[in-house]
Structure 1
Amino acid sequence: MQYFEDIEIGAVRELGSHTFTQDAIIAFAKQFDPQPFHIDPAAAEHSSFGGLVASGWHTAATVMRLLVDAAVDLEASLGSPGFDDLAWLKPVRPGDTLRARMTCIDKSPSRSRPGIGSGRFLIEAFNQKDELVMRYTSIGIMRFRNPA
């Protein structure tokens, strides 16, 4: 279990990997982002992507799942007020395997709420060619192990 005290600025944590399939890309997009280049392989061939691509929101949701499974301790975590600088840098295609990592870039104790603090984390996702496909900065609120 990682509490606020356990997080070190500069620490990097690998979050795991996930392979995107055509069926999953289409299913997600039909429900949440039904643009032709996400749901119709034939139409996608004539798009600026030249083929089917995952919705950026599918990529973000998948990375969030990896983050929760690998790094979010449900007892120490108090959620997040948001994120900054979300960027989809390269398309994710069927068969791509993404790996994600989290780097702590800052942390501070709360000035108004004893026993909790926040951390800022750079979240990055890379494809199998080690190309950066997505990044954002997340804010995590967490408990102290030993509140003062």
Structure 2
Amino acid sequence: FFSVSLSQRVMAIIESMVARVEVASIDEAFLDLTGMPGNMTELGRSIRSKVHRCTGIPVGVGIAPTKTLAKLANHTAKRLQAHTGGVVDICDPVKRDWVLRNTSVGEVWGIGRKMKAHLEGMRILSAKDLAMADPWMLRKTFRETLKKTS
């Protein structure tokens, strides 16, 4: 569905709008919006609109202070597209808290089936529960695996 040439077109569009782009895979990029002027949600809508207009590909845009949170925002943008228009900015702590509370721990980047089951056994059911969990206990239990999602 998503060819290399289409990916290159999408990334070129994004790079024409944002200076610092880290291409993570054929269908994913992280944008550094530090110092970008204006409203970030509006910028996200502009990126989404231009990519769709030029390629026909609908993209989700997640805006957040970390890559893990950006992926979570993107997941929410896609999951609740009728309400979000495909763009979610969780830089605001109130919006971030809502997303974390309403996201299953298994939907967090880097959490597989086994870890999800283990976390749920520890009563860590949502991304919010994970964010509030004791970091020392998580490191002890999961070693380095969860550290990557911070």
Q: How does the TM-score come out when normalised to structure 2?
A: 0.25
**Greater per-residue strand proportion:** 1
Task: Identify the structure with bigger relative contact order (alpha carbons < 8 Å, sequence gap 6+).
Answer: 1
**Greater per-residue helix proportion:** 2
Q: How does the TM-score come out when normalised to structure 1?
A: 0.25
